[in-house]
Every structure is written in C-alpha cells, then in structure tokens.
C-alpha cells in the first residue's frame, strides 16, 4: 500500500474511460448494418490487499453481444427474402407482358377476329369484311409473337442481371467480390487476434458481407474458433479461411440451362436473388413460352386446316382439296416468319409463338380467305366457280367457343399466370415479415438501444467523477502528511 489507493482509483478511471469509449462507439454505430453492440468485460482484481480490501478493477476485453442461433436465423431469412422479392419482381414483369383484362389484350383481339369472321360469313365477297378479318388476324399474330419476344427479352435481361461472374457489374460479380472480401477479412481477423488486437470491427464487416451474400445467394455461415467465418452454399464451401471460390455462370437463357459453378468446377444450387433469377430463366419463363406456343399452335392449326379445306369467293381451292387444280391455290392464314408458306407447331418449332405471322400472300390479297365450304353434299359449290357461300367462314367464327380453341388455352394461361403472380406477392410479403422478425430477434441481442447506452454513459460519468474524487482525497491526504513532516 505504497500509493494509498491511487492505483486502485486509476484502475477505476481507466475502466470508466473504457465504458465511455464503448458507449460512444455503440452510439456512433447505432445505424450501422451488421454492427453488434459491444460491452466492456470488467472483473474485480482478485488479489486482495492488506486487511482483505480489493485492489481495483480489471478490464478484460471489449466483447460483442451476439447469438449464433439468431445470427443463422437472420442469414437464412435474408436468403429467403432475397429470393422471394426477386421472384415477385420477375412475376410482375411477366404479368405486365399480358395486360389482362383489357381491350388491347390478346383475348379481346381473338374475339375481334372471330366476330370479323362472322361478319365475313354473311358478306363473303365484300372487300371491307375481308380486310377486317386479315387486319384482326394480323393483330393477333403480332401480339402473340410480340409477347413471346418480350418473354425472351425478359429472360435474357435476367441472365445479364446475373452476369458472368467476372467484373461486369452483375450480381454474380457482386457475390464474388463479397466472397473475396470475406476471405480477406478472415485473414485479417486471424492475424489481428494472434497479435492481440481488437478485431470486433473486422468481424462486423465480415458479418455485413455475409448478410449481403445471403440475400444474393442464400448462403449460410459458421464461425471457427480463431474468429474466421466460413461460407457455405447448399453444402458447398465457398469460403474456407482466407480462400474464396470464384463463381461463374454456365449455360444461357436461350437454352434454359443457366447455372452457377465454383472455380473448382462444382455446380451449386444458388438461392437468394440469383437463385430466383435462375428459376425465372430456366423454368418460369420457358413455361409461359410453352403455353403461348400452345395458344399460337391452336389458333394457327385450326384456322389453317379450315383454310386448306375451303374455297374463297372466287372459287380458288384450299391446298387440301386442290387436287390437280392449275389455278390459284389458297395460302395458309398463319405462317412462321422465315418460312413464309407453312406453320410448324411446337415442339418441332420451339419458337412457334415467337415467329407466328400473317401469311404475306394473304396480306397482299385479303380475298384469298376460304369463306366457302369445299364442294360436297349440302352445297352446290364447284372449284373454280365464284360463290357467296359463307359456311366455311361460319365454321371459322365458331372456333370462338371451341373447348380446345386458342381462347380457352389463353384464358387458362392467364389464370395460371395470375395465380403464380399472386402467390409470389404473398410469398414476398411473408418472407419480408419473417426477415423483419429474424432481424428484430437478433437486434434484441446485438442491436444498440439508445436509452440503455445513455444510462451507461451517465453511470460511467458518475463513476468517473467518484473515482476522480477519490484521487483528489488521496492527494489531499498526501499533502497533509507532507506538511506535517
């Protein structure tokens, strides 16, 4: 007891300074994402002095308030939310390609086509009625092929959003730079803690990077005893210590086999927003392309068949009943662009909807529509003889209520699209609520609460003042003693 308790008071002053520093740091980082609140670990000096009085306080370290379970839950929820939000955006983009119900949609264009055919049936040789049918058919074909092209464009924009993984600003490149950052921080954490430095700030950065990775890829993480964090994606380790894998894209939107591989060549099942894009490109959009192909195929096949088996008002026969007819033979109504004379259905032509167009020959000469039925029982039609028979046009118009017609196929496609989009919206809301809950749970442990920090500051301030008072008292004792000598 050589200094009359000055060293004990000094340890108190140091401890309260550490408390003030920590509270100040916590308050500064109150809005920092990924920041875990810190606390000073204090313990009384064990060795007792004379008469058993304590020897002051020991500042152990400044530790972070975290909980491994809540951390993992938060990262998982981030991944689910990343995927759900992106899926919802994809579905709403798909939905915007099919604006139904509206007067400009494919459904109402089909209806216009059928009613124009119905008018043509009773005005078989009227130029206006023929042109109306050709115009309506062209609008339907343009809308179908336009929608199909828009779907393809959406798929390729989703692919470019992911990018190749190299520095192209895509989300995969973003993920790679985060993975590299985690590996780099791991190295710094291991080196720092070996050198006895405070690595809390590095751990915060590491955690923030992993949270972003979770949202992008749906990763999970675990921490090693040396403080470094490992990153896993569905069982594949992406970051081990200071070594990070680089992710790259394989396949393409055009072939619906877009995927992600590590630099070791291992294919990984991505989650998060990248996973949602992969699902959109590989499954969702191709499924709507296929349904649109069915709409297109049903329309083109049914009308082309009737066209091939009928005659126009001039008596020109369709291809199926032409026989050896030397004159004009009616062209198909719908063709695939590029081939100009025939229409190939999917799957033989996987782009049947994208390429459907009105036959150029019919566009040039709208009178070549098979309004009349083929010669046969119940009519007096003769190939080569003009006729005002409109019964074939009536049959075409009756496709409006065909149970397998383009209208029904299109309606069920819109129903499926609406359901999927509504589900995606609901899933996104749920995921966002879950993420908020997970983040609130975590923040109850490791978040910074302004009020409790204020209380800590006041307490530290009071304690500091008290210790200062002790120093002042001891000093005054020393002076009295010195004057007495």
Partner 1 sequence: MTVSSLALAQTLTNQLSLQESNIAQIQQQLATGQVLNQPSDNPAAVTQVLALSSQASQLTSWQTNADTATSWLGTANNTANSALESMQSAQSLLLQSLNQGAQDPTTYEALGDQLNGIVSNLLSLSNTQFEGRPIFAGTSATTQAYDANGNYQGNSDVPTVVIGPGSGVGQTVGMSVPGTTIFGVGASNVFATLTTAATALLSGTPTSAELNTALDALTANISTAQQAAAVLGDSSQEVTSASSSLTSQVARIQSDQSDLEDVNVATAMTQLDSETTNYQAALWAASQAIPETLVKFIAP
Interface segment toward partner 1; rule CB under 8 A; list 138-146, 174-182, 303-311, 446-454: 446-454
- Separation of alpha carbons 417 and 430, rounded Å: 20
* Nearest CB to partner 1, comparing residues 251 and 384: 384
Query: Looking only at residues 64 through 83 of this chain, which bind partner 1 when binding is defined by CB under 8 A?
Result: none
Query: Looking only at residues 206 through 265 of this chain, which bind partner 1 when binding is defined by CB under 8 A?
Result: none
- Separation of alpha carbons 277 and 65, rounded Å: 36
Among 241, 411, 434, 463, binds partner 1 (CB under 8 A): 411
Find the shortest distance in angstroms from Cβ 343 to partner 1: 23
- Alpha-carbon distances, residue 452 vs 19, 37, 459, 461 (angstroms): 13, 11, 10, 14
- Separation of alpha carbons 270 and 170, rounded Å: 15
* Nearest CB to partner 1, comparing residues 334 and 410: 410
Query: Looking only at residues 326 through 385 of this chain, which bind partner 1 when binding is defined by CB under 8 A?
Result: 372, 378-381, 385
Binding flags for partner 1, 455-484, as an x/- string (CB under 8 A): x--x--------------------------
Residues 6+ apart with CB under 8 A from 81: 215, 428, 431, 432, 434, 435
Query: Looking only at residues 76 through 115 of this chain, which bind partner 1 when binding is defined by CB under 8 A?
Result: 91-92, 95-96, 98-101, 107-108, 110-112, 114-115
Q: Is residue 388 part of the contact set for partner 1 (CB under 8 A)?
A: yes
* Nearest CB to partner 1, comparing residues 80 and 270: 80
Among 398, 459, 463, 471, binds partner 1 (CB under 8 A): 398
Q: Three-state DSSP class for 79?
A: helix
- Separation of alpha carbons 280 and 178, rounded Å: 24
Find the shortest distance in angstroms from Cβ 450 to partner 1: 5
In our burial notation (b when 16+ CB lie closer than 10 A, e otherwise), range 297-326 reads bbbbebbbebbbbbbbbbbbbbbbbbeeee
Query: Looking only at residues 31 through 50 of this chain, which bind partner 1 when binding is defined by CB under 8 A?
Result: 31, 33, 37
Q: Write out the H or E segment, with its range, that includes residue 35.
A: none
Among 85, 87, 118, 289, binds partner 1 (CB under 8 A): 118
Binding residue count for partner 1, defined by CB under 8 A? 74
> Tokens at residue 198, please?
């405070």
Residues 6+ apart with CB under 8 A from 453: 23, 26, 27, 30
């Amino acid at each position: 007891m050589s200094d009359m308790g000055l060293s004990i008071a000094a340890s108190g002053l140091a401890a309260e300074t550490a408390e003030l520093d920590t509270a100040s740091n916590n308050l500064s980082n109150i809005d920092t994402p990924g920041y875990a609140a810190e606390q000073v670990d204090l313990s009384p000096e064990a060795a007792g002095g004379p008469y058993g009085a304590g020897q002051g306080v020991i500042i152990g370290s400044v530790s972070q308030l975290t909980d491994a379970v809540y951390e993992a839950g938060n990262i998982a929820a981030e991944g689910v939310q990343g995927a759900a939000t992106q899926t919802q955006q994809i579905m709403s983009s798909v939905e915007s390609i099919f604006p139904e119900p509206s007067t400009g949609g494919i459904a109402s264009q089909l209806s216009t086509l059928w009613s124009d055919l119905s008018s043509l049936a009773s005005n078989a040789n009227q130029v206006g009625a023929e042109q109306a049918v050709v115009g309506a058919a062209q609008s339907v074909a343009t809308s179908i092929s336009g929608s199909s092209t828009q779907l393809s464009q959406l798929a390729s924009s989703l692919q470019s959003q992911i990018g190749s993984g190299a520095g192209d600003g895509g989300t995969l490149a973003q993920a790679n730079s985060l993975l590299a950052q985690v590996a780099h921080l791991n190295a710094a954490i291991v080196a720092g803690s070996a050198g006895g430095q405070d690595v809390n700030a590095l751990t915060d950065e590491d955690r923030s990077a992993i949270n972003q990775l979770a949202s992008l890829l749906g990763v999970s993480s675990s921490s090693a005893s040396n403080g470094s964090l490992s990153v896993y994606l569905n069982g594949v380790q992406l970051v081990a210590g200071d070594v990070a894998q680089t992710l790259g894209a394989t396949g393409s939107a055009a072939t619906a086999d877009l995927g992600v591989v590590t630099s070791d060549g291992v294919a990984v099942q991505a989650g998060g927003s990248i996973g949602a894009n992969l699902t959109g490109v590989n499954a969702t959009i191709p499924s709507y392309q296929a349904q649109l192909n069915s709409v297109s195929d049903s329309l083109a096949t049914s009308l082309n068949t009737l066209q091939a088996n009928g005659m126009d008002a001039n008596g020109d026969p369709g291809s199926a009943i032409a026989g050896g007819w030397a004159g004009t033979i009616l062209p198909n109504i719908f063709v695939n662009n590029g081939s100009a004379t025939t229409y190939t259905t999917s799957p033989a032509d996987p782009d049947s909807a994208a390429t459907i167009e009105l036959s150029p020959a019919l566009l040039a000469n709208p009178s070549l529509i098979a309004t009349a039925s083929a010669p046969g029982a119940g009519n007096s039609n003769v190939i080569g003889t003009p006729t005002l028979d409109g019964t074939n046009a009536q049959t075409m118009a009756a496709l409006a209520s065909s149970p397998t017609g383009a209208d029904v196929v299109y309606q069920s496609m819109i129903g499926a699209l609406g359901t999927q989009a509504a589900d995606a919206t609901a899933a996104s809301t749920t995921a966002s609520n879950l993420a908020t809950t997970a983040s609130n749970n975590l923040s109850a442990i490791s978040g910074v609460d302004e009020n409790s920090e204020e209380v800590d500051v006041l307490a530290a301030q009071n304690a500091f003042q008290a210790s200062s008072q002790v120093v002042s008292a001891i000093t005054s004792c020393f002076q009295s003693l010195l004057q007495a000598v």
